[in-house]
Amino acid sequence: MPTRRAFLQSTLAVIALPAVGLSIVHSAIAARPLRFVIDGGCAVARRLADCAGATLAGDDVAVLIELLNRDEADAWIGLTRDAQRFIFETLARPRGFELRYAGTHDYRTGTLQHRVVGDLALIAPHTQALAAAGANWPTALLDYAALLSRSRTPGDSARITTATLRPPGSADYLTSWCWRRS
């Protein structure tokens, strides 16, 4: 029977993208009380990392576990592939986190489609930013981080269709999410 760690690592290995793993953002001087988890293998997601002045904290799930255990941040916001989102969920739930916001960002139909789930009235500025920002849409997660952390799921969902094409080096399908300590 595989160990939990082996299982998690194998999940990551199945999705063969260039830099497998998770980039954890510590904004260099910003030092916010929330953290970002970003798929380091995806060019579009890395845009968010750049915007926040991120440094790579590691590409091993163990780093993530250590940070979650150290209880430094109240809220975690992610822009990752679905498999990584799942890993985070399995780590976060038993540690007392709850899901506050969820989104998907899908290039598979040709142009980018967003779907957001949460308190739609509250997160309207975020939804509008996704619609208006074109290829720079990941910055909306940074711009409205505090807002997303106050949303609640299950909420309603909204779909936003854009004309944005998938840039090279980007994943087909990304998820965004916010887990917050309850």
Partner 1 sequence: MLPPNLTQADFDRAMDELRAVLGREWVIAEDGPRRASYRDPFAPRDVDKSEPTAAVAPANVSEIQQVLTIARQYRLPLWPISTGRNFGYGGPAPRHAGTVVLDLKRMNRIIEVNEKHAYAVVEPGVSYFDLYRYLQARKIKLWMDPAAPGWGGVMGNLVDRGAGYTPYGEHFMAQCGMQVVLADGTIVETAMGATPNAKARHLYKYGHGAWVDGIFTQSNFGIVTQIGIWLMPEPPGYRPYLVTFPHEDDIHQITEVLRPLKLGMLVPNAATTVGLIWEAAVKVSRAQYYDGKGPLPDSARKRLASDLNIGNWNFYAALYGPEAIMNNNWKVIEESFRQVNGAKFYFEADRGGDPAFAYRAQLMRGIPNMTEYSLLNWVGAGSHVDFSPISPVTGDGALKQFHIMRDLCHRHGFDYIGEFLVGWRDMHHILMLVFERNDEERKRAVRELFEALVNEAAQAGYGEYRTHLDYMDAIAETYHWNERALYRSFEMMKDALDPQGILAPGKSGIWAGRSHHKRS
**Phi and psi of 70, rounded to 5°?**
-75, -10
- Interior CA angle at 56 toward 35 and 167, to 5°? 90
Among 20, 56, 63, 129, binds partner 1 (CB under 8 A): 129
Asked whether position 162 contacts partner 1 by CB under 8 A, the answer is: no
Closest CA to 174 of 64, 34, 72, 45: 45
Determine the Cα–Cα distance for residues 70 and 132; give it in Å rounded to an integer. Answer: 37
Nearer of residues 34 and 64 to partner 1, judged by Cβ: 34
Which of 52/116 has CB closer to partner 1? 52
Lay out the sheet containing 34-39: strands in order across. 22-25, 34-39, 75-80, 173-181, 97-106, 111-118, 156-165
User: Is residue 136 part of the contact set for partner 1 (CB under 8 A)?
Assistant: yes
Which residue among 1, 13, 16, 29 contacts partner 1 (CB under 8 A)?
A: 29
> 151 by DSSP, 3-state: which?
coil
User: Measured from the CB of residue 104, what is the shortest distance to partner 1 in angstroms?
Assistant: 21
Binding partner 1 (rule: CB under 8 A), the pick from 8, 23, 26, 170 is: 26
Interface contacts to partner 1, rule CB under 8 A: 26-33, 47, 50-53, 55, 121-122, 125, 129, 132-136, 139, 143-147, 150
